[in-house]
């Protein structure tokens, strides 16, 4: 990049002659036409410097190397799965994003997509549709009866209340979503995160180590359970990935050192 030196001391006559010399060089090199409408030498100098800037920028843009195309996407091999994991609003607000990512990477799994997003009501209704209400109510009623407790709600009404709580919860703050790839990744990730009720999750799992909430307490407070992360099951993994990531946001083509040790996934 050339350096422009401005004169420390130069009378108006010398400056004028210097401007003429610069103008002549520009005209000869770039076929520039100059008008004589400048009010004084300073304005003329500004015009010349601006022309130099535009020409230099154009030349540098032309010299930039062409943007590299992404390499051809690798296809998943047999036995290799993809799953969705996201740090829920409570995990984000508690600063557990790095901890969750670290657990996944230390297990040898490969993160091929990662982003923070604030989910909206439309996404929440799609992810937690009204059709889930009856199933949620029936499951809750069964759990109550197994504990010898009376279930004081109608199944569908209870399910709708839980769905509303889930939607409020998942849209209350950003989430950090990631797509994970690896051998039997779906089951592996669910084992790493632990039981959906943190009070029952085993020590060493994400929920067991970083939360102690319980469904009974959440029900009494009419809210969603705070369990730090969401991990897809085998039925929902592919669909849930597509809900949050486009194919262009996934990068399976790079190779981790652990992949190389296993002969690549």
Task: Kindly list the catalytic residues.
Answer: 230
Residue 183: C-alpha distances to residues 13, 42, 79, 188, 237 (Å): 79, 69, 6, 8, 14
Q: Are strands 229-231 and 110-117 parallel, antiparallel or unpaired?
A: unpaired
How would you list the strands of the sheet with 110-117, edge to edge? 110-117, 175-183, 80-87, 229-231
Nearest to 219 by CA among 168, 151, 133, 171: 151
CA distance 73 to 257: 18
Concatenating the DSSP letter of every residue in 107-156 gives: TT-EEEEEEEE---HHHHHHHS-TTHHHHHHHHHHHHHHHTT----S-HH
Contact between 140 and 165 under an 8 Å Cβ cutoff? The reply is: no
User: If you compute the radius of gyration of the chain from its CA atoms, what whole number of angstroms results?
Assistant: 31
């Amino acid at each position: 990049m050339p350096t422009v030196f401005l004169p420390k001391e130069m009378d108006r006559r010398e400056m004028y002659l210097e401007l003429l010399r610069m103008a002549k060089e520009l005209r000869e090199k770039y076929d520039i036409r100059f008008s004589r409408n400048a009010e004084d030498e300073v304005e003329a100098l500004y015009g010349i410097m601006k022309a130099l800037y535009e020409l230099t920028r154009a030349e540098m843009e032309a010299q930039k190397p062409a943007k590299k195309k992404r390499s051809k996407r690798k296809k998943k091999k047999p036995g290799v799965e993809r799953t969705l994991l996201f740090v829920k609003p409570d995990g984000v607000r508690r600063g557990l994003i790095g901890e969750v990512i670290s657990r996944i990477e230390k297990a040898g799994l490969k993160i091929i997509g990662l982003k923070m997003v604030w989910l909206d009501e439309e996404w929440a209704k799609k992810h937690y549709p009204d059709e889930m209400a009856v199933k949620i109510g029936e499951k809750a009623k069964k759990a109550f009866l197994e504990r010898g407790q009376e279930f004081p709600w109608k199944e569908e009404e209870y399910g709708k209340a839980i769905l509303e709580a889930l939607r409020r919860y998942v849209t209350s703050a950003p989430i950090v979503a990631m797509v994970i790839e690896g051998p039997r990744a779906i089951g592996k990730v669910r084992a790493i995160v632990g039981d959906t009720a943190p009070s029952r999750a085993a020590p060493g799992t994400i929920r067991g180590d970083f939360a102690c909430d319980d469904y009974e307490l959440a029900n009494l407070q009419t809210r969603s359970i705070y369990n730090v992360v969401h991990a897809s099951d085998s039925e929902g993994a592919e669909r849930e990935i597509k809900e949050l990531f486009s194919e262009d946001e996934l990068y399976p083509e790079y190779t981790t050192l652990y992949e190389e040790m296993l002969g690549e996934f």
